[in-house]
Structure 1
Amino acid sequence: MAVLVYLVPSLVIALVLFGMAKVIAQARRTHRAWSGLTAEARCLRTYTTTSGGGGRAVSTTLHHVFEFTAHDGWTIRFKADGAPATILEGDLATVWYAPDDPEGATAEPPARGALVARTGCGLLFLGVFVAVAVAVMVQLGSHV
């Protein structure tokens, strides 16, 4: 029993820390793209996915697939979830990308304050899970 008191919360903490690292990595990739080069891209496709249902709220996410030619001449195709909803198939749009990572391009217009807020809120949300897991270890560990 004593092993579970520490093992399960430790696994939760490890998973949450992995999630936090992913949130930070995505924010850094977006920031690098905004600080890099721009290109004109064509929207090749738009599609939606839905999640939820079965008694839960249903949410719909709009996805775009763009293609552009990078500064080195390579044709890059990527999926973007943060592109404006007003962009339709066949439209031209500005994309931002880091010269050494054109696959990490984004069609989301630069909004550094929103990126910081979004990243901070995500880390705060995940941090609550770490705090709860530590509290569980401390509380239950003192009774073992």
Structure 2
Amino acid sequence: MEGFFYIVPSIMIATVLVGMAAIVRKALRINQAWNGPTAEGRCLRMFTTTSGGSGDSSVSTTLHHVYEFTTRDGRAVRFEEKDGPATVLEGDITTVWYVPDRPERTTAQGPARGRLMAGTGCALMFLGAFATALVAFMVQFSLHF
């Protein structure tokens, strides 16, 4: 039974570490795209998805855009992006930033490095504090039992 108090927090810590790695990868991917060339993209489709709403929970709505652009070497690339600006509608022309050798790594959100660093830092601090609390729980459990 005591092993339960080590196994469950260890699994939770592993999950937190995977989440932290995903957050850092996403931030690096976006920053890499901002350092690359730009192209003129076109919004092909705009749609929303909802989640939640069962029982008394709140409903969350996410805005999605589907863009298409042509790279400098002539390849047509289509990509979907979540949480874009609500002012971009179907048919609008917008600037996209992409990585030349991997044009699928692209974004239509304009460079905002400070906001990206702040958001990434806050998420990492929160997850780090959670992992630290789990380690502290395991240490306290081992000292008392």
* Structure-to-structure mapping, 1:124-135, within 5 angstroms: 124-135=125-136
- Structure 1 residue runs of 4+, over 3 Å off? none
Alignment of 1:79-118 (within 5 A): 79-118=80-119
Cα deviations by residue, 1:15-64 (Å, 9 ceiling, x for unpaired): 00000000000000000000101000111100001122221222211100
Partner of 1:33: 33
Which residue of structure 2 aligns with residue 13 of structure 1?
13
Higher deviation after alignment, 21-30 or 72-81: 72-81
Q: Does the C-alpha gap of structure 1 residues 78 and 94 become closer, same or farther in structure 2, counting only changes over 3 Å?
A: same
| CA contact 1:82–1:107 (8 Å) conserved in 2 | no
What CA distance in whole angstroms lies between the structure 1 residues aligned with 2:38 and 2:84? 14
Pick which of 22-31 and 56-65 moved more: 56-65
Counterpart position of 2:23: 23
Please, which runs of 5 or more residues in structure 1 have no aligned partner?
Answer: none
Residue 13 of structure 1: how far off its partner (Å): 0.5
Normalising by the residue count of structure 2, what TM-score does the alignment of the two structures yield? 0.94
Please tell me the root mean square deviation across aligned C-alpha atoms, in Å.
1.1
In the aligned structure 1, how far is the partner of 2:74 from the partner of 2:134?
Answer: 49
Gaps of 5+ in 2: none
Q: How does 1:47-86 map to 2 (within 5 A)?
A: 47-53=47-53, 54-86=55-87
Q: Across the two proteins, how many residue pairs are aligned to each other?
A: 144
How many Å apart are 1:109 and its aligned residue?
A: 0.7
Normalising by structure 1, what TM-score? 0.95
* Cα distance in 1, alignment partners of residues 31 and 114 from structure 2: 11
For residues 109-130 of structure 1, give each alpha carbon's deviation from its aligned partner in whole angstroms, at most 9, with x where no partner exists.
1000000011011111211220
Q: What per-residue deviation string (whole Å, max 9, x for no partner) do you get for residues 53-94 of structure 1?
A: 221222211100001111221111111114221111111110
Counterpart in 2 of 1:4? 4
2-side partners of 1:93 and 1:85: how far apart? 13
Equivalent-residue separation in structure 1 for 2:39 and 2:27 (angstroms): 20
Q: Aligned letter for 1:4?
A: F
Equivalent-residue separation in structure 1 for 2:79 and 2:56 (angstroms):
34
